[in-house]
Amino acid sequence: MTQSLTITRPDDWHLHLRDGAMLHAVLPETTRHFGRAIIMPNLVPPVVTAAQAAAYRDRIMEAMPKGAAFEPLMTLYLTEDTDPNDLAAAHASGLITSVKLYPAGATTNSASGVSNFENVRHILDRMAEIGCPLCVHGEVTDPAIDIFDREAVFIDRVLDPIRQATPGLRVVMEHITTKDGVDYVKANDQDLGATITTHHLIINRNHILVGGIKPHYYCLPVAKRESHRLALRAAATSGDARFFLGTDSAPHLDALKETACGCAGCFTATNTMSLLAHVFEEDSALDHLEAFTSLNGPSFYGLPTNPDTITLTKGGPVAFPAKLATPDGEVTVFDPGFPVHWHVT
């Protein structure tokens, strides 16, 4: 049995770093293992212009741990008032790698997102023209739609019409959580990819609700039925180049998670690579781990793979910290609920 595995240094194609004290606390947890990450723009206020993206990148670089070789890949937050010329200039200069679409009200800090998709049609056309990918939070916000059905309905009502109307637009379905999402990607072999999170490969909705509400497993999109989790596992471990890692690691202070209206998000930056090695070994797919974490994402985005490697070694149980300290309070590190034996060395 494999006891050691060396792979190209991975990337995280969906990451929340926040800002200020939280940024300084969580950034080292990503730079330890990852070469690059797509940085989410849903700050308060959101990152909607090139100037704001440049300023945020500067703050990330200032917070970089000494000796870290990490590249933040910046994004713009799509609004109905986004200036296509500003977006195009930011992309042409290399300042931004993609643009993020949040349906208004879909998740944390998404109030400034898109309500009327017709109002961004001209922006999407420009993005298709210049080859700028669109990263999509794929859920409808219609209160009549059950929360467990919002991803499937989004595909039918929003995503497929957008792609039909804007041929050539490269789209990443971020943090897919359903078999519907997997099947849609598999049925479309051009200009479409999908990220899958670490936690959605491990938990289903029972983990959140059975035996009492578990706030640190609550995330958006919310975890679904076991059949959907298994579909995600099959996709992630298949080696299919259209599926790649986006942790959606989302730090929130414990005080904001453990409350009557708790924030959505799982903080997985600390232990993702060990957890993924466990998952891929369980599914007899360790030979596909590198594709999922290190090769498929760069291929979709047209970027080179990282020049260096990391090594995972199997041994005694890994002792992950339960909490990450920040100046404002603690953040709980995602607990998979089982011992993990893969160490990143």
Per-residue pLDDT of 172-195, as tens digits, reads 999 999 999 999 999 998 999 999
Residues taking part in catalysis: 248
Residue 57 in contact with residue 72, Cβ under 8 Å? yes
- DSSP-assigned states of every residue in 143-164: TTS-GGGHHHHHIIIIIHHHHH
Domain ranges of the chain: 4-344
Please state, rounded to an integer, the average pLDDT across all residues of the chain. 96
**Those residues with Cβ within 8 angstroms of residue 275's Cβ, 6 or more apart along the chain or in another chain:** 198, 201, 202, 268, 334, 336, 340
Q: What is the DSSP letter of 183?
A: H
User: What is the amino acid identity at position 117?
Assistant: F
Question: Residue 106's pLDDT band (boundaries 50, 70, 90)?
Answer: confident
In tens, the pLDDT along 223-277 reads 999 999 999 999 999 999 999 999 999 999 999 999 999 999 999 999 999 999 9
Question: Residue 71's pLDDT band (boundaries 50, 70, 90)?
Answer: very high
Q: What is the CATH number of domain 4-344?
A: 3.20.20.140
Left (φ > 0), alpha (ψ -120 to 50) or beta: where does 105 sit?
Answer: left
Rounded CA separation 28/142 (Å): 38
Determine the average pLDDT of the residues in 67-91: 97
